[in-house]
Chain A
């Protein structure tokens, strides 16, 4: 989609980066946002329908495929689906075993969910940027941003989930008192430095999910912007840049999913450790 002038190019980019937002608008009440302006005015009480829809669809795809593989799983010779699924499961299991030094059996499934889900969501990026916005435009939806991981809400949402698990396991393993002690008496074990320790540790704790979410978001968003910019080139030149960038993104997509998963395991492992 070649842009004729600068204004339309900016419009095109902004249009592709706007989520389909449903929320409580001060004037229009509960409605779909017709513009980026309206979406902003909705404030916190709004939801990105495209992000939620696509992420849940990918999550269900993961659950469905892996559940199916689990149902047909035999201890004998595995079929194609089972083979592929087992490869992923084994990869996550090894990753967990090498990173997590506890006996918690839930860490590996958590990591599997994170990895496959993020991988699937990231992979949506390989789909040409215009297909779904055009299709949903025909169906009457103004905006459609199909890659959930380019929405900061989605990545921070998952990071928040990981953060809650860090808190849960910290308290479960060390007890509320032990966790409070860890926050207040490390790194300097002296009563007079408790406030200093608290500030340091709480910042350290909160930085974990934020860095986790923003790293994934930043990488995916930047990649998406480049895809949109490439789509602005004349149609005969698009493939020249688009194909290498897409191939490069096969790496980025899996690498980012891997990093998010590994760091989550590392954080959860730290939550299990006593000082």
Chain B
């Protein structure tokens, strides 16, 4: 329990350790600590900012989606309307075309019939003459009977 030089020695050792600690030990650790604190704070800041950005972006995306859906349905409606219109138009055209075809066919038929009638008439009159010649067995004055024969042919 003697007070002796150890007291002084311990004080000197203490002073040296304190000096060393102030100079070489404290600064790097403390600096690293504070820098990391700042880094973490920055990181948290950035994260919260990012989440805010994300929210905004999501909202925007939703809005865009809504708009595009609306647009799509509009386009669809238009297309439907247009297709109905086209079908209607096509039907009209087809009907007109059909009618036209029918009409032309009918007129052609009529023409054919007329031509056949003409032919027939000519042939009948010819046949009538031949028949009459055969029946009468006499020469018929063609000049005299021409008018009668023509009337006969017209009647057929």
Contacts and interface: CB of A to CB of B under 8 A. Distances in A.
Interface of A: 19, 21, 23, 39-40, 42-48, 51-52, 55-56, 59, 62-63, 66-67, 69-71, 73-76, 78, 82, 85-86, 89-90, 93, 106, 108-110, 112-113, 117, 148, 151-154, 156-158, 160-161, 164
B4 to A, nearest CB: 4
Given A62-B17, A75-B35, A157 B29 contact: no
A138 to B, nearest CB: 25
A19 B3 CA distance: 12
A89 B33 contact: yes
A106 B6 CA distance: 26
A52 B10 contact: yes
A73 B26 contact: no
B8 A113 contact: no
Given A113-B18, A154-B6, A86 B29 contact: yes
A108 B29 CA distance: 12
Contacts of A154: 6, 10
Interface of chain A: mostly helix, strand, loop or mixed: helix
Given A55-B10, A151-B6, 8 more contacts: A46-B2, A47-B4, A48-B6, A113-B21, A153-B4, A156-B7, A157-B14, A160-B7
Contacts of B9: 47, 52, 157
Given A90-B33, A158-B14, A110 B7 contact: no
Nearest to A89: B29
A110 B11 contact: no
Nearest to A157: B10
Interface in B1-36: 1-11, 13-18, 20-22, 24-33, 35-36
Contacts of A51: 6, 10
